Amino acid sequence: MKLKLDENLPTTLVARLRALAHDVDTVPAEGIAGKDDATVWQAAQDAGRFLLTQDLDFADVRQFLPGTHHGLMLIRLQTPSRRRLADRIEAVFKVEAVDTWQRCFVVVTDRKVRVRRP
């Protein structure tokens, strides 16, 4: 799966997700760290990448309607330390059928994964 990690996620995820055979790019590596959300979103869409973020500006499913984009994962943990974020996201990618999530809106919490499909 082609992924783009937002700048608010730990960089340790790059190696972890690549080890699970995913093609991972990051907002900082692309040189768009600090840019507005529209720029980050467009970069992910232009590259055909599934965006992973904690940014609540991406939380409106009506704005990011499943089927209208390459995929979006919003991560919402109660205490999102860098280690907890990396551990939770890696665990989700190990046990869930993430390859079926293209064009979906996914919300990951401490205990649940909700997938809205087109």
Residues in the chain: 118
pLDDT value of position 57? 97
pLDDT value of position 118? 96
Q: What is the pLDDT of residues 28-53, one digit of tens each?
A: 999 999 999 999 999 999 999 999 99
pLDDT value of position 111? 96
Four-CA torsion 55, 52, 82, 76, nearest 10 degrees: 50
Q: What is the mean pLDDT of residues 16-27?
A: 98
* Count of the separate structural domains present in the chain: 1
| CA 69/CA 51 separation, integer angstroms | 10
* 64, 103 Cβ separation under 8 angstroms: no
Q: What is the pLDDT of residues 50-104, one digit of tens each?
A: 999 999 999 999 999 999 999 999 999 999 999 999 999 999 999 999 999 999 9
Entry pTM: 0.97
Task: Look up the domain containing 57 and give its range.
Answer: 2-116
